[in-house]
Amino acid sequence: MQNLISSAPSRRRCTEQRCISLLQSATSLPRLLQALAFLLKCGNQSNLLVLTRFAAAAAILGPGAAAAAATLLFSPSFSPLHLYDSFLLNTSLQSLSPSPLHPLPIFSLMLRLQLPPNHFTFPFLLKAISATPSPLASASLVHCSALRFGFAGDSFVQNTLIHAYASAGGAGLESARKVFGESPKTSPITFSAMIGGYVLHGRSNDAIVLFRQMQYAGIQPDYVTIMTALSACIDLGALDLAQWISSFVAKENIPKTLCLCNALVDALAKCGDVDGALEVFDQMLERNIISWTSVIDGLAMHSRGMEAVRMFETMKASGVKPDAVAFIGVLKACSHGCLVSDGRHYFASMTTEFGFEPRIEHYGCMVDLFSRAGMVEEAMEFVRAMPIKPNPVVWRTLIAACRIHGNLQLGENVTKRLIKEEPLYGSNYVLLSNFYALSKRWEKKWEIRYTMGQQEMCKVPGFSMLELNGEIYDFVAGGEKLSRHQEIYEMVEEIAKKLKRAGYVPTTSEMLLDIDDEDKEDALHWHSEKLAIAFALLKTLPGTRIRILKNLRVCGDCHSATKFISKVYQREIVVRDRSRFHCFKDGACSCKDFW
DNA sequence: CTAGGGTTAG
């Protein structure tokens, strides 16, 4: 008896599941039709799920197959299916999301069969379009269609339209903004769609401006808007805003969902407030692997490797099984904290204790672990013994170690090998020319620079950002974007003099120019973070902590200069690198010079 | 039957 009751629904589910996989596995239209015929024989005439999956499977095969399928489905001989009309096609559209399959064939069929789209059609359609590779053209096509059918004023349509346009980036963002501006009713959803689009395409400044406007307009952000705004904070290192959001969440009646708390932990840590992140983490009622990974990664970024390792152990003890990403976190903590033996232990435990096959990222962490610790030969040996092919990232890790630890010959060889693999990537040639400069082979260096010029390859320009009183300031080397540059350059000169008196010796070896030493020193002063620090020293009261964010890694000279500045000017200076934090205080850096 | 979203080596 018990058996009968429990097996009946499960058998039906199983059949349906089988239908779907049968349809999805069809590789051509004839096979698909064959599959459908079989399913109909099993009595699926009115099973909507099966029929919509059939339509979706046909759409995957291409417009021709989709047309044939729809003609079949909606032909009179297939009655009474035509009663489903738009509903069937809407559901087909829905079933395409979030897979990246193109929904337009289904939509055009719908029009061809003169089935009128209704107000469910456009959101489904636009949602599916957002997930396709280049949604701009499709979005504007559907936009026109929505206007023609009189659905452009529907708020669901507007929100999905903003999302679809914004997903395209570039000009799509402007189209999205236009729809956004024309939307009469704005909800947190409208704002999330627009803000999310900005964040997705690297315009986090615009995202935050809009987030502020939202509050100004009296619209209460909900948890999705907040998570989106937190992503923008991460991009910009906007600590003030991240902390403000954190307290906002604490005092307002916003559901503290697992997702939201994870986003808060991640954002606070990445904006420089690990202790704030730990506080949120401690108060969480429920934690998943992402919560643990975020907090471990946050500790790793701040050189708190031992704590990260303890956290990893606590996680295991609390019954959460580490996954591949969590291992990346703990291995990163070991390499940034110079915990070589712990790193070895965790790497080994991946296979012995948890049965994972380490991925290239894990091998990369190990190479970094040995490299930072100065064990360059060991790192090279590790790469040689790797069972998977090292990728360019691994090579670059090793190359960075060779440069820092002075293994010039090895570095040069590895860089040449990298260039063979990636001949079109400009930065690789810069790396090679660096080694030539370090070994003072200027002709070789100029040869490379010449080749680069010929092929129009260039270096990623470095920039720094600084947040002062809620405003974000940009600095690029040379500083031509700044209106007050004269003042800043004078400050840079003054800093240089003071540092020299304090015993600072500029490191010129990282410069690529073979000009005389004095000029080299000059050129080093223009690195974007030096400009940012000078500006911050001018604009803030003594004792204020200075926070800088960079797109590249800190160069050796800036690192030692900043250590001196922190002592001479008695300031705490926090620099967020590409991958970690440096907290300069009293002439020392929290990274203990491992970076 | 409708909309916006989270951790990942350098």
Domains of chain A from N-terminus onward: 359-459 (1.25.40), 463-589 (no CATH)
* Distance B10 C1' – A365 CA (angstroms): 9
Mean pLDDT rounded to a whole number for chain A: 86
Cα-only R_g, chain A: 29
- pLDDT attached to residue A98: 57
Residue A312, judged by CB atoms within 10 A of its CB (0-12, 13-18, 19+), counts as buried
Q: Which nucleotides of B are covered by protein (CB under 7 A)?
A: 1-10
Q: Which residue has the higher pLDDT, A325 or A100?
A: A325
Protein residue with the closest CA to the C1' atom of nucleotide B1? A91
Q: Using DSSP bridges, classify how beta strands A546-550 and A573-576 pair: parallel, antiparallel or unpaired.
A: parallel
* Distance B3 C1' – A162 CA (angstroms): 10
Protein residue with the closest CA to the C1' atom of nucleotide B2? A120
- pLDDT attached to residue A478: 60
The nucleotide closest to A227 (CA, C1' atoms): B5
- pLDDT attached to residue A359: 96
Two structure tokens written together for A222: 């909900």
Two structure tokens written together for A577: 């690198």
pLDDT > 60? residue A469: yes
pLDDT > 90? residue A566: yes
Any alpha helices (H) in A271-339, and if so which ranges? Answer: 274-283, 289-301, 305-317, 324-336
**From CA A206, how far away is CA A93, in angstroms rounded?**
32
How many beta carbons lie within 10 A of that of residue A137, not counting itself? Answer: 13
pLDDT > 90? residue A526: no
Longest dimension (CA), chain A: 93
Taking the CA atoms of A476, A481, A482 and A487 in sequence, report the sign of the dihedral they define.
positive
Protein residue with the closest CA to the C1' atom of nucleotide B8? A325
- pLDDT attached to residue A9: 40
* Distance B3 C1' – A295 CA (angstroms): 31
pLDDT > 50? residue A270: yes
Confidence class of residue A396 from pLDDT cuts 50, 70 and 90?
Answer: very high
pLDDT single digits (tens) A31-73? 988 888 888 887 777 677 777 778 778 877 876 787 788 778 7
Q: Which residue has the higher pLDDT, A440 or A561?
A: A561
- pLDDT attached to residue A474: 86
* Distance B5 C1' – A386 CA (angstroms): 37
The nucleotide closest to A123 (CA, C1' atoms): B2
| A323 phi-psi bin (left φ>0, alpha ψ -120 to 50, beta other) | beta
- pLDDT attached to residue A215: 94
The nucleotide closest to A365 (CA, C1' atoms): B9
A75-89, A370-384, A574-588: which range is least confident on average?
A75-89
The nucleotide closest to A159 (CA, C1' atoms): B3
Give, rounded to a whole angstrom, the gap between the first and last alpha carbons of chain A.
67
- pLDDT attached to residue A11: 42
Measured at the CA of A194, the angle between CA A193 and CA A199, to 5 degrees, comes to 100
A416-430, A450-464, A557-571: which range is least confident on average?
A450-464
* Distance B4 C1' – A102 CA (angstroms): 21
